[in-house]
Structure 1
Amino acid sequence: MMDEPTSPPPAGKQPPEKAPNAVKDTARFLLYAAERFARDGCPQRAASLTFTSLLAMVPLLAVSFAIFAAFPAYDSLQVKVQDYIFENFVPQVGTQVQGHIQTFMAQTGKLSAVGVVFLALSAVLLLSSINGTLNTIWRARQTRGLVMRLMVFWSVLTLTPLLFGASISLSSVLFALAQASGVESVTGSLARFAFALPFLFQAAGLTVLFLVMPAAPVRRRDAVMGGLVASVLLEGLKQGFAFYVTNFPTYETIYGVMATIPIFLMWVYLSWMVILFGAEVAAGLPEWRTGARRLGREGLSPIRRLTAALAVLRALSQAARAGKSLSDRNLSRACRLGPDALGYATRRLDQDDYIARTTRNQWVLSRDLETVTLADLHRDLDLGLGTGIPRVHLRTAWGQRFAKAVDGLEAAEDEIFAMPLKQLLAPPAVGEDRVHAPGPEDEDVEDRIARKGFNARVLALIGLGTLGQAG
């Protein structure tokens, strides 16, 4: 039996794309993030951060716990927080490491003023290394000024221990109230929730790290997903480490009393590997939503570069009509571009005086788009063939024919791209709304799936992390 002929879709309408399998799509994205991870040299960067962490661990904890001492309400929480960290975030060898670190920290009180300065500098060195690594992952070409960086570092150093202490204090109060009330069902629910607390603290801390540290705009949704992925992997890493240390104690035979050192080193290194992979996930999501599937030149082909520049100009022209300017974060959201494409477009357009930064670090248009054609932009971005056929080849017959072909191509290109940018980027005219106005039907399939399935994926990752804690 023959199939009935299907009528073509109405003019201006494309048949809806079939949504890809969510599991396969997630696996493809994780492979993309892994490729990004390798391309950015994250294993080497994790090794560098491991070394810096060992130097800065005692100073960092000393500064953090000094914050507790400055607030009488938090003074009693210092021991609780320390025990909580080493019991929940360092597998098996945490007790031994904690003992050594407490001994080292006890000696910090004997330091002179110069020693205290070097102590603080060691802590800042670690934060600066983290900042530089995350800037590389997010392709941040412009770093923050020294004052702004120090403010961010100081905020991390001061607010993190206070918020962490407040969370533990609140948990203790809730448990005490539940037990005092005699409501067993509430107490039981809180006890079950306690299993998830270390995982949630971990995920929240990494989310804030991915949001605050990079000198690039980061969407909250992407930071949350990166933090959750890293936290789930850390839970799996903890379980694997605990299993190895318990069942394969050969490291004790080899290293004897020094066995704690290599185990702890390996733990810190693998932890940084996992954290940097979570950062790659958060940084790669915007690129994935814009259609990037491979790294390298294909990700920023000439057509993608031109499209990125037009997207930036369109967003800023819309903002200009409303009398506004756009920050990096708002520009990224308006253009729906990944870090690579957005960084390229803003850098080149700023270089060629199409856009400029204000004193408030906002982006604005700096050229009248009525006087600039698409051909002008194409040439300014160096996306054409350019000039420079060697004279030795121009003396040949084939070289002459090739030069004429190039001249014809450039003439045709100028004619086709003669439209002023203001006309090209104008709002849709009457009758164009249904066909060309951006809407849900024009969004990337992966973006729709990511948006609709975001809550489900977050809950699934939290569930995995909670299972790891309960195990």
Structure 2
Amino acid sequence: MIQLLNKLPFAHHSWFMYIRLLVRHFLDDNCTQKAASLTYTTLLSLVPILTVILVVFSSVPALEEVRGQVQQAIYSNLIPSSGAAISQHMDNFAEKSSNLGIVGVAGVFVTTIMTLITIETAFNQIWRVSERTGGMASIVRYWTMITAAPIILGVAFGASSTISGLSFLNQQVAGYGIDWGIWAKIISFLFTVGGFIAMYWFIPKVKVPLKNAAIAGVVVAILFETLKTVFGTVMTNFTSYEAIYGAFAAIPVFLMWLYLSWNLILLGVEMSYTLTIFDSKEVAVRHPLLSLLDMLNLIYKKYQVGETASEAELRGVLGRKETPKWNLYIDELATNELITRTENDEYTLRTDLNTVSLWQFYKIMPYPLPIKDEMSALNKAEYDPWCVELYRNLERIEGIAKDELDMSLVELFKTAPLRAKESVVRMTAQNADHNSDTDGFNADAKTVVDEHGNSVVVPMGKASFTESNITKAVRLAKKGWHWYGRGKKAVKDAKKGMES
């Protein structure tokens, strides 16, 4: 398949290379499985989320008038035209749940926050971001999302109603006037675009470039509106599924709609992520230690002039194929206390690099030393002098290692005895003699026979205690049961062979 794609006349065009990158990441990140998981999460949390919206509107009397408009806008975007029954049931549930007490409201808010955590986790997995923040900071973020979104929607719909009600805007000039129906659709689409952009820019725990979030938001909003129209048309004209599911026909349709919607949303996350990667230049993949040193070099240079390094700058020193691991590299540098994250989500040195040798850096990182072939690309004038110096040092190390390991395997095996497999048992304190060494109770041990013919357990090569008769009987019984099972299986196989 890859060879066929490479033969296409536009195979090396930037747009086609980006589409391939996007599709590969969408599949590699198991976005379809994430969409299925989020579908059921959304199904269980829709009513609590709508209840939270109603509670927020009820707490702000000025927004009570536009509550119905906001609710209708949510239903029209969340549920296709064929899901009228679903929206009616959800409306009834939400209205009834608005009478909940303090404990019920608290439970609804907790459910909503847990849903947001699930969504955020899926986004962070796509962005390769580990959970670096939490506690009160995350609660504040979730609380802002829960309370601010309904208020913003309410204010926007209130302003829209006020503007459309102005008399001078409703006057006709030469037979022409403002078609508020078209403007309502445009405004609704703009709100959809704004919602997707905010989702892609705000939810991941990483600084997402606003330009990339905006591109992903616009593209997904267009695809979402197209999907909504196509899905509604198909479900309206092809009603054979109603004969199969009967009164429950709305449920599988709604599940399918949620699943397709989440696939689109996750595609947008992948789009904002891959656009960020695609901004990097295409270079050969380097050894991880070299990438780590390059990132640390940038932070060190910034530190010398009293500045910090941003995530975008750190990604800038990596190639396109190295960028997906940038967060892993940052975590490794931070875990080993070489760098630290500042309050404005940038990075600076935490350790004086004068006290860290190159050998110490290699030992604390989970990577082997690069070999000569992996370093050959660095022996160029375009790289920093430290890269060329590192290349020369590693070349000398490889030469020494080659001399020390220059022996045939036959020569090595001549002095190497065969390793015999020894029986291993595990003893417990209940089976041990009271004079035994208790350090061996939970250790793997081998059984040997002493000069008196007794079976002795030897943990870590030292005799610890004598195997009791109970333990020996249990061990022999297990072995006998094992051979009984194998014999029984052999008899069954023989009977089947004779019958056939």
Q: TM-score normalized by structure 2? A: 0.66
Are residues 1:131 and 2:120 paired?
yes
* Superimposed CA distance per residue, residues 215-272 of structure 1 (whole angstroms, 9 cap, x where no aligned partner): 1221111111121222122122112211211221111111122211111111111101
Any idea what the Cα deviations from partners look like across 1:264-310, whole Å, max 9, x if unmatched?
111111101110011011111121222469xxxx8xx334x456434
Residue 239 of structure 1 corresponds to 229
Root-mean-square deviation (Å): 3.9
**Deviation, structure 1 residue 356:** 2.6
Q: How does 1:171-186 map to 2 (within 5 A)?
A: 171-177=160-166, 180=169, 182=171, 184=173
Q: State the shift of 1:357 in Å.
A: 3.2
Secondary structure in 2 matching 1:216: coil
Residues 227 and 359 (structure 1), Cα distance of their counterparts in 2 relative to 1, 3 Å cut: closer
Quick one: which of 126, 131, 139 aligns to 1:150?
139
Within-5 A mapping of 1:317-336: 317-328=300-311, 331-332=314-315
Q: Is the 8 A contact 2:169 2:178 kept in 1?
A: no
Classify 1:256/1:40 alpha carbon distance in 2 versus 1 (closer, same or farther; 3 Å). same
The corresponding residue for 2:286 is 302
- Once the two structures are TM-superposed, the CA of residue 362 in structure 1 deviates from its matched residue by 4.1
Kept after mapping to 2: 8 A contact 1:46/1:269: yes
Per-residue deviation, residues 366-409 of structure 1 (Å, max 9, x unmatched): 455678788886776566557xxxxxxxxxxxxxxxxxxx8x99
Cα distance in 2 between the residues matched to 1:244 and 1:307: 54
Q: 1:346 aligns with which of 318, 330, 354?
A: 330
Task: Determine which structure has greater relative contact order: mean sequence separation of CA pairs < 8 Å that are 6+ residues apart, divided by chain length.
Answer: 1
1:122 and 2:111 are equivalent in the alignment: yes
CA contact (8 A) 1:67 1:161 kept: yes
Deviation of residue 28 (structure 1)? 3.0
User: Cα distance 1:331–1:189, how it changes in 2: closer, same or farther (>3 A)?
Assistant: farther
Aligned 1:25-44 pairs, distance under 5 A: 25-44=14-33
Q: Distance in 2 between matches of 1:413 and 1:254?
A: 64
Counterpart among 364, 373, 378 of residue 348 in structure 2? 364
**Partner SS for 2:24:** helix
Post-superposition shift, 1:189?
Answer: 7.0
Aligned pairs (5 A) from 1:35-54: 35-54=24-43
Cα displacement (A) at 1:165: 1.6
Task: Return the offset for 1:360.
Answer: 6.6
**Cα offsets for 1:181-229 (capped at 9, x unmatched):** 6255995376544332222211211111111111122111111112122
Name the CA distance, whole Å, in 1 between partners of 2:228 and 2:364.
52
Amino acid at match of 2:57: F
> One-letter code of the match for 1:324?
E
Secondary structure (helix, strand or coil) at the match of 1:188 reads coil
Question: Structure 1 30/70 Cα, relative in aligned 2: closer, same or farther at 3 Å?
Answer: same
Q: Does 1:63 align with 2:52?
A: yes
Matched position secondary structure for 2:81: coil
SS of structure 1 residue aligned to 2:340: strand
Q: CA deviation at 1:134?
A: 0.5
- Say if 2:154 is the partner of 1:165: yes
| Structure 1 residues 329 and 275, CA gap change in structure 2 (3 angstroms) | same
* SS of 2:348 mapped into structure 1: strand
**Partner residue in 1 for 2:271:** 281
Q: 1:315: which partner in 2?
A: 298
Opposite residue 282 of structure 1, the aligned amino acid is S
- Partner of 1:212 in structure 2? 202
CA distance in 2, matches of 1:65, 1:327: 40
One of 198, 201, 208 as aligned partner of 2:188: 198
Cα distance, 1:102 vs structure 2: 1.4
Amino acid in the other structure paired with 2:222: V
Q: Which of 71, 74, 79 is residue 90 of structure 1 equivalent to? A: 79
Supply the distance in 2 between the matched residues of 1:291 and 1:249 (Cα, whole angstroms): 51
Q: Deviations over 1:115-148 (max 9, x none)?
A: 3222222111211110110010110023321211
Identity %: 28
- Letter in structure 1 aligned against 2:295: V
Structure of larger gyration radius: 2
SS of 1:237 mapped into structure 2: helix
In structure 2, runs of 5+ residues without a counterpart are: 1-8, 391-500
Unpaired segments of 5 or more residues in structure 1? 1-19, 387-405, 425-471
For residue 434 of structure 2, what is the aligned residue in structure 1?
Answer: none
Bigger fraction of residues in helix: 1
> How far apart are the structure 2 equivalents of 1:277 and 1:63?
27
1:271 and 2:255 matched:
no
Instruction: Write the distance in 1 (CA, Å) between the matches of 2:363 and 2:261.
Output: 47
Q: CA contact under 8 A between 1:226 and 1:278: conserved in structure 2?
A: yes
Mapped to 1, the partners of 2:142 and 2:387 lie a distance apart of 42
> AA paired with 2:308?
S
What's the secondary structure of 1:290's corresponding residue? coil
Asked whether the 8 Å contact 2:170–2:178 carries over to 1, the reply is: no
Matched-pair contact (CA < 8 Å) for 2:164–2:170: no
Matched to 2:69, the amino acid is K
Query: Given the superposition, is the C-alpha separation of residues 113 and 289 from structure 1 closer, same or farther in structure 2, using an over 3 Å criterion?
Result: same
Letter of the aligned partner of 2:200 in structure 1?
Answer: F
- Mapped to 1, the partners of 2:111 and 2:357 lie a distance apart of 53
Q: Deviation digits for residues 446-470 of structure 1, max 9, x if unmatched? A: xxxxxxxxxxxxxxxxxxxxxxxxx
C-alpha contact (below 8 Å) 1:356/1:364 kept by paired residues = yes
1:90 shift after superposition = 2.4
Q: Deviations over 1:413-460 (max 9, x none)?
A: 999999558999xxxxxxxxxxxxxxxxxxxxxxxxxxxxxxxxxxxx
Structure-2 change in CA distance of 1:272 and 1:421 (3 Å): same
Distance 1:222 1:359, change over 3 A: closer
Among 74, 85, 91, which residue is 1:102 paired with? 91
Which amino acid in 2 is paired with 1:124? I
